[in-house]
Structure 1
């Protein structure tokens, strides 16, 4: 499972385009969003790099959480 921290995903309206971007990489991925924590978990067999790139292109770049 991949996990992404997306600091500017602050509401449900933000979570929707994040989810759509991730599904554009893997339409079969299982995606869980936690808006208050600004976290997204993705169950997929694909490489993390493709997801990081599409998140950045969508305007929701992944940033490692401090201390991780």
Structure 2
């Protein structure tokens, strides 16, 4: 599983935009979003760089969540 912190994700619309950006990547497993923590978690065979790039292009820069 991969987990990322997305500070700009503040509402359901933001979560939808993040989901759309991630679904454009190949091999993403079910996506779990926690708006309270501003985090997204998912599994899949995609590189971290590809995820960070896709989220940044969608307007939601992210970092690894600990």
TM-score of the alignment, normalized to the shorter chain, above 0.5:
yes
Aligned-residue offset at 1:49: 1.0
Structure having the larger proportion of residues in strand:
2
Q: Match of 1:41, SS?
A: strand
| Structure 2 unaligned residues grouped into runs of 5+ | none
Shift of 1:26: 2.4
Runs of 4+ in 1 over 2 A off after TM superposition: 26-29
Q: Which has the larger radius of gyration?
A: 1
- What TM-score, normalized to structure 2? 0.88
In the alignment, what sits opposite 2:44?
44
- Unaligned residue ranges in structure 1 (runs of 5+): none
Alignment root-mean-square deviation, CA = 1.5
**Count of residue pairs brought into register by the alignment:** 66
TM-score, with length taken from structure 1? 0.86
